[in-house]
Amino acid sequence: MSTAEQPPGAALRSREHTREKLIDAAFEVFAEVGLNAASVEQITERAGFTRGAFYSNFDSKVELFFAIADDKYTRASEGLQSGVDAILAEALPAGHPITADALETIVTRVLGLTVVDSKLALFESEFEALALRDRDIATRYAGHLREVVAGLAGLLEGALARIGVRFLLPAEQATRLLITAYTAAMKTHLLSGGGDQPSVADLADVAALALVLTERMPER
């Protein structure tokens, strides 16, 4: 009835809006009480919807876990791409081969884009523990991680090529190692009571790894 009166696309946008609000509310509830303890009722109540709204968007709580993981990855990836674009546009040495110092500066600046999200770290730790206990979730979770690596590998390889640098290892392998080091550094930062913005020292392992994993391309 009321949907019949909406302009074309409005129903779809409203549905998308509901889905986003459920994702945001669930992320907060999960951070507060953990994935297992969080109920569909708590999540829908926080978002201001009914159980019906939940089940018209997600088949189960597990579907919601994956929707959150996808949402967080998409936002992080878009933020990283635009940040890297801005840094390279400014730092790119015009026509000259990049120096080791310039590369180090760029790596430090890219890592400076980082914002720590303790709720996200917690979500990932618990999601991982859940996947380790459930074969079906594990398979899907592994697939999600492969997509994240492939996406970031493309982004990083493209950015390096623009400054005449390449990975010493296959791009996906190097990216997997960088993500792993980055995740560990964030956890160490959080465990030591760090705030939203990690320091250069917090990310020293990742910066050192990035430099060990790359080399300047031979000049043509």
Q: How far apart are CA 186 and CA 202, in angstroms?
A: 8
Pinpoint the alpha helices (H) of the chain.
Answer: 2-5, 10-33, 40-47, 51-57, 61-91, 100-111, 118-133, 135-162, 171-191, 204-212
Amino acid identity, residue 72? K
208 binds a copy of itself (CB under 8 A): yes
Q: Which residues pair with 167 in a beta bridge?
A: 214
Closer to a copy of itself by Cβ: residue 135 or 220:
135
38 binds a copy of itself (CB under 8 A): no
126 binds a copy of itself (CB under 8 A): yes
184 binds a copy of itself (CB under 8 A): yes
Residue 4 has phi, psi (to 5 degrees) of -65, -25
197 binds a copy of itself (CB under 8 A): no
108 binds a copy of itself (CB under 8 A): no
State the residues that interact with a copy of itself by CB under 8 A.
34, 36, 118, 121-122, 125-126, 128-129, 131-133, 135, 138-139, 141-142, 145, 168-169, 173, 176-177, 180-181, 183-184, 187-188, 190-193, 204-205, 208-209, 212-213
